[in-house]
Amino acid sequence: MKFMTAEPFRIKMVERIKKTTKEERQGWLKEANYNAFKIKAENVYIDCLTDSGTSAMSSEQWSALMLGDESYAGSKSFYKLEESVQDIFGMPYVQPTHQGRAADYIMAKLYAKEGKYAIGNMHFDTFRGNAEVLGAIPVDYVIDEGKDTASAAHPFKGNIDINKIENLIEEKGSEQISVVIITVTCNNNGGQPVSMQNIREVSALAGRYNIPVVIDSARLAENAYFIQQREDGYKNKSIKEITREMFSYCETATMSSKKDGLVNIGGLFVTRDEEVLQMAQQLAIVHEGFITYGGLTGRDLEALAVGLQEGCDQQYLEYRINQVKYLGDRLEEKGVPIVKPTGGHGVYVDGRRFFPHIPQHEFPSQRLVVALYEEAGVRAVELGACAFGSKDPVTQEPIWPDVETMRIGISRRVYTNSHMDVIANALGEIYKNRNEYKGMKLVYEGPITSLRHFTAGFELL
């Protein structure tokens, strides 16, 4: 029944959030040097900084916590998690980690090679950081449509450009490529999905040259839902049938379970290769903890075993993806320029089209983050000139990124559509007055440019 689109849950416990005044928020912005990461969460009304680790757990998950087996080795809770992972990934081996980037680190140690290329659609920053430390060359080969924020025509804007992989193989030789990493969904360009056909074709091409394929699968269920809804031949398949097929095309998968795992901490390293598992376990013992807990408690493992299943629930996903679309639709009605189509975990506003008079070196998307918090107490995050800007290693001249957005990350099962309306109305008002805003100046940044957004300081121009 099409009209039944409300949340597939009822609320059993609530957490108070605080409305504040514009004057108060102006003071806190100043104290935070206009950096949203430095604002205290208690002073935020609706927090859309990230969808990571912010999910609300279900009553089933909270009761599973009590079953946590805190044994150092061979915990019952590990075996429950293993079964849940095998069911969804269709792969035999799992090493838990304390969060996704620890799984990224293990993966980078095993698959990124000094002086060799690591191809991705758009690499997630923590893998990119790990790969660069190891001397590998991460390259982003998302299709061109994936960089065009205004075009809604392509249903899978996270796809990898196969021609670009072929050209690199031709130019450098296949032995210069150590791994292909497919991130589902593609976070950096708007939570855009990758099609099954693309995963299949990338895997077939890599297989011909013996290049291993890894899937970075923080948002595996959201990607599977898009495949079911948008790709021919998947309408009648279940979410788990789709996830299992996705992972049938890779050797290894990593996951930050803080996203579709519906828990607040944790990560997974999953593989079908016994040798890879053994090496991953060695690294885990050194860096994370013993192989059956990997830096997590037994209760964390329990909550994740349940959360993974709930994250793949059809009714949950329908609600989830449609809530994000609801916010996107309200913003479009008000003329606010967003990345289209809306993706899985948030709405991305195009900073350059929102403030066309603010040049990229004056941080238009960061200005929008500041305006949104000032007007409505809503915290979003800049993914643009500050977060993705870099510097020429020789001349230190700034290099400005293709992507210039503000992400409104939507936490899972946390906010209602009334909260979405508050966000849409506030942005609509700011958009009406957009010509009154001027840009910003970066007055402080840390020594590592790729991490500067976490600690940067700004002034208003």
Ligand X SMILES: *Cc1c(COP(=O)(O)O)cnc(C)c1O
The binding site for ligand X (CB under 6 A) comprises 52, 99-101, 104, 124, 126, 183, 187, 216, 218, 256, 258-259, 267
Q: Which residue, 337 or 409, has its beta carbon nearer to ligand X? A: 409
Provide the b/e sequence for 21-37 (b: ≥16 CB within 10 Å). eeeebeebbeebebbbe
Of 222 and 231, which CB lies nearer to ligand X in the complex structure?
222
Angle between helices 76-89 and 239-248 (to 10 degrees): 90
CB of 49 to ligand X, least distance (A): 13
Please compute Rg for the chain using Cα positions: 22
Chain centroid, CA 297 distance in Å: 24
Tokens of 67: 């079953």
From 123, 258, 259, 345, active-site residue: 259
**Known catalytic residue at 72:** yes
Neighbours of 173 (CB within 10 A): 10
Tokens of 18: 């605080």
Which residue's CB is nearer to ligand X, number 96 or number 212?
96
CB of 343 to ligand X, least distance (A): 12
User: Catalytic residue among 216, 260, 300, 350, which?
Assistant: 216
Residue 264 to residue 98: CA distance in whole angstroms:
11
Residue whose entry in the numeric block shows the structure tokens 């510097």? 391
Nearer to ligand X, 122 or 427 (CB): 122
Q: Which residue's Cβ lies closest to ligand X?
A: 100
Residue 261 · residue 84 · CB < 8 Å: no
Residue 184 CB, nearest distance to ligand X (Å)? Answer: 8
Which residue of the set 103, 131, 218, 371 is catalytic?
Answer: 218
Residue 399 contacts residue 389 (beta carbons within 8 Å): yes
- Annotation marks residue 280 as catalytic: no
What is the DSSP secondary structure assignment for residue 176, as one 8-state letter?
G
Query: Degrees (nearest 5) of the Cα angle 328, 330, 333?
Result: 110
Residue written as token pair 């918090």: 373
CB of 355 to ligand X, least distance (A): 27
Per annotation, catalytic residue among 102, 373, 453, 456: 453
Using the minimum distance from each CB to ligand X, give the nearer residue, 82 or 216: 216
Provide, rounded to whole angstroms, the least separation between the CB of residue 51 and ligand X: 9
Rank residues 25 and 320 by Cβ distance to ligand X and give the closer one: 320
Close Cβ partners of 259 (under 8 Å, ≥ 6 residues apart): 51, 52, 218, 219, 345, 412
Annotated catalytic residue within 78, 105, 124, 355: 124
Which of 404, 380, 420, 302 shows the shortest CA–CA distance to 51? 380
Q: Which of 87, 125, 273, 329 is catalytic?
A: 125
The residue whose two tokens read 């506030």 is 426
Separation of alpha carbons 316 and 305, rounded Å? 16
For every residue of 308-372, which 3-state class applies, written as one string?
HHHHCCHHHHHHHHHHHHHHHHHHHHCCCCECCCCCCCEEEEEHHHHCCCCCHHHCHHHHHHHHH
From 242, 67, 181, select the one nearest 81 (Cα to Cα).
67
* Residue 259 designated active-site: yes
Please pick, among 22, 30, 72, 150, the residue that the annotation labels catalytic.
72
* 402 catalytic per annotation: no
Decide whether 216 or 251 has the Cβ nearer to ligand X. 216
Find the shortest distance in angstroms from Cβ 122 to ligand X.
Answer: 9
Closer residue to ligand X in complex, CB, 267/307:
267
Least CB distance to ligand X at residue 26 (A): 31
Nearest-approach distance from CB 434 to ligand X, in angstroms: 30
* CB of 216 vs ligand X, minimal distance in Å: 5
Nearer to ligand X, 124 or 437 (CB): 124
218 annotated active-site: yes
User: Please, are residues 185 and 343 in contact by the beta-carbon 8 Å criterion?
Assistant: yes
Catalytic residues: 72, 124-125, 216, 218, 259, 453
